[in-house]
Structure 1
């Protein structure tokens, strides 16, 4: 049974051009209408199962925050139904519900009381909020003295002090230092593993790929894409890149991988190949081998100066390596005739761990970097195999040296070596 069931909800807001228009409508009891209606959500439907994690993306004003407020119950739809089975916790606008003159401790206590907890449960929970937020002495200072990052620490710590059935987060984790962001993400992952349903609005594609099972795009209050995070994010990236009305976004399947293509086709990628250094096609490489990624491009507009690039991602969609002819200072400034074909090779040493990787390719106008000519996400997939028995763990075999030494105090362990002190004369080294 779905934990959340949203059926065909709509939401609109009213604005007035002036206070006089508002006054006229008020004194005529609405008989003379001067308001302007702005539809924020238009027939949105979705369901979420227990433990499911959903990422919501879209342009500013698309209706993302309004949808989350309806899930939280702080706003109601104009039509449609919302059924929620479970306790909901939310982190929307920072500091909402907190009093600036109250201390962090007092605000945390009020937050726990609003959860309906037994009074005996609250003091230890407040101490846990203090510990997790790491506000130290500031925990007993008024919130008006807090920085934005400190407010986020307190808000997140208080909102997640008790694991909810449903957790709603609206971009708030983008505030604050990287350390606390990682700490917050770790708590969200633990909640997910325990069965919490997550709604996450974020412009960080890595967060959505790592935390969400599913993603959807809201555009002008309508869900236009709903599916796997990598496919939806590729489509959204194409939307962001689109600048001209005649650019088209297309998605199709290639060897079981959903490929997203966009651009105005003034330069068109007509072929993509992965070759070994002997020029033979290959899809499987050993760690450390060099792969040649070749793009063959057809000119449809002689006035364009192309900038050609690649991006390698892992199976989770994380960016591993990307570059282009502009960054490499390789100018392609020949004036091509219509129909001319040329190719660009990227020779990449694959210092990668074993796994599956994909390559996205693109050609843009070097004079107008925002103008995408042809962009293909997940254009080709290749595999990396270990060369022998790997002596490392992780994503990439970084060059590393290992040292082992014996000296005074090392054998007994009674005299720790100070930082920067040499280990002794007897030393064995190994590494790359």
Structure 2
């Protein structure tokens, strides 16, 4: 079993005014420092328990890749320490360590040995590596003729040829095609079931929420927040939308969940409810039953163009369905301050049994990155139960008409 303990980790680089300052500091050490420290990471502390999967997120430049390099030992920290237990396999920068003039097979052998495998072990595993990479005759071609996706296929196949105690994956998987991404995540999930500890860097919300137990948010080289993946991803998305305005806030719901709310507050959802056929509020809905999502919006300031959107998410925070009045060509123009608008979205509840939540967004276009008046996560929580239909698996009610012909 693998474990990771990071304590007070920090990384700084020396910045000199010019090259002569660097030379003078080296030649005349008694004359004092001639550099300034540029900190890219400061005071990072967290633990990853054996068998736990942790997602690492943050905007570009937040320090994610640097942190992984410090954890894997390819870069030395300025402050703090990293302790790891177990065999580590890391997939960091794409094709890291690959020689462009060597073939994929030769690079695979070298990469396997760098991971701690013997030559005999890599040779024995080579058929499995080739089969998983699926690049055919290119395995014996120089890496310089590879696409980025082919490099990633070989690198991932080697790194995961034998189940590691700790698997560290940077965003390299994002360059692969959809087929290989699914294949890679299937292997990662199987490793997790067998007890592998996972540290995953990704901007893919679904990947983080479906694979990870916990998420860590880096912002400006510091650990900004950590918690369950859905909460952290919602906070991260709100942070991106409100980068110029400090309007992101968290509040706890009556059910004990942490709700992320962001926006200028010029308009707000004053009430939201799920209604049955008789117009009564319900919290439990039968599969396939007709319902109406009623959302009341209160304008607190004049809004030239108002769009309301909603997203239904499952218990892991993965989107089931979402739309908005811009996409439906029903935006409202010139909403006055103090005006209340009631939206009603009627649809059959064709979801599978489970607990779901609704997130709402009041914006001016199809995205909350332009004018974000309010984005409210966990605005409504409801449960779907199968009360009248035959048992089925999955998160959607897609009951087929079946025709069978025997000859």
After TM superposition, the score normalised by the length of structure 1 is 0.89
Query: For residue 380 of structure 2, what is the aligned residue in structure 1?
Result: 380
User: Aligned partners of 2:187 and 2:143: how far apart in 1?
Assistant: 24
Q: Deviations over 1:59-100 (max 9, x none)?
A: 111111111111111112111121111121110111111111
Give the deviation of 1:18 after TM superposition: 4.0
Unaligned runs of 5+ in 1: 408-432
8 A contact 1:261–1:374 mirrored in 2: yes
8 A contact 2:355–2:383 mirrored in 1: yes
8 A contact 2:2–2:87 mirrored in 1: no
* Secondary structure, aligned partner of 2:111: helix
Query: For residue 221 of structure 1, what is the aligned residue in structure 2?
Result: 221
* Runs of 4+ that moved beyond 6 A: none
Query: For residue 40 of structure 2, what is the aligned residue in structure 1?
Result: 40
User: Aligned partners of 1:383 and 1:334: how far apart in 2?
Assistant: 36
* Secondary structure, aligned partner of 1:60: coil
> Aligned pair 1:163/2:163, yes or no?
yes
Give the deviation of 1:193 after TM superposition: 1.2
User: Aligned partners of 1:87 and 1:187: how far apart in 2?
Assistant: 17
8 A contact 1:315–1:358 mirrored in 2: yes
> Aligned pair 1:319/2:316, yes or no?
no
* Secondary structure, aligned partner of 1:404: coil
Give the deviation of 1:26 after TM superposition: 3.9
* Secondary structure, aligned partner of 2:101: coil
Structure of higher RCO (CA pairs closer than 8 Å, 6+ residues apart): 2
8 A contact 1:238–1:249 mirrored in 2: no
Give the deviation of 1:262 after TM superposition: 1.0
User: Aligned partners of 1:385 and 1:242: how far apart in 2?
Assistant: 37
CA RMSD of aligned residues (A): 2.0
Q: Deviations over 1:208-267 (max 9, x none)?
A: 011100001011111111111111111111111215425232232331322111111011
User: Aligned partners of 1:292 and 1:393: how far apart in 2?
Assistant: 25
Query: For residue 231 of structure 2, what is the aligned residue in structure 1?
Result: 231
Give the deviation of 1:383 after TM superposition: 1.2
Larger radius of gyration: 1
User: Aligned partners of 1:361 and 1:99: how far apart in 2?
Assistant: 49
Give the deviation of 1:2 after TM superposition: 7.7
Deviating more after overlay: 295-304 vs 147-156: 295-304
Give the deviation of 1:290 after TM superposition: 2.1
Shift in CA distance, 246/155, structure 1 to aligned 2, threshold 3 Å: closer
8 A contact 2:109–2:119 mirrored in 1: no
Give the total of aligned pairs: 406
8 A contact 1:244–1:264 mirrored in 2: no
Deviating more after overlay: 171-180 vs 33-42: 33-42
Give the deviation of 1:400 after TM superposition: 2.4
Shift in CA distance, 30/153, structure 1 to aligned 2, threshold 3 Å: farther
8 A contact 1:239–1:249 mirrored in 2: no
8 A contact 1:307–1:364 mirrored in 2: yes
Unaligned runs of 5+ in 2: none
Shift in CA distance, 116/34, structure 1 to aligned 2, threshold 3 Å: same
Shift in CA distance, 367/60, structure 1 to aligned 2, threshold 3 Å: closer
8 A contact 1:14–1:36 mirrored in 2: yes
8 A contact 1:325–1:331 mirrored in 2: yes
8 A contact 1:307–1:332 mirrored in 2: yes
User: Aligned partners of 2:275 and 2:220: how far apart in 1?
Assistant: 44
User: Aligned partners of 2:2 and 2:399: how far apart in 1?
Assistant: 49
* Secondary structure, aligned partner of 1:293: strand
Give the deviation of 1:38 after TM superposition: 1.7
Give the deviation of 1:272 after TM superposition: 1.4
How do 1:301-316 and structure 2 match up within 5 A? 301-316=301-316
Deviating more after overlay: 9-18 vs 304-313: 9-18
Query: For residue 206 of structure 1, what is the aligned residue in structure 2?
Result: 206
How do 1:283-362 and structure 2 match up within 5 A? 283-336=283-336, 338-362=337-361
> Aligned pair 1:141/2:119, yes or no?
no
> Aligned pair 1:151/2:151, yes or no?
yes
8 A contact 1:285–1:385 mirrored in 2: yes
Give the deviation of 1:341 after TM superposition: 1.9
Shift in CA distance, 120/335, structure 1 to aligned 2, threshold 3 Å: closer
> Aligned pair 1:95/2:95, yes or no?
yes
Query: For residue 363 of structure 2, what is the aligned residue in structure 1?
Result: 364
Query: For residue 401 of structure 2, what is the aligned residue in structure 1?
Result: 401
Deviating more after overlay: 116-125 vs 55-64: 116-125
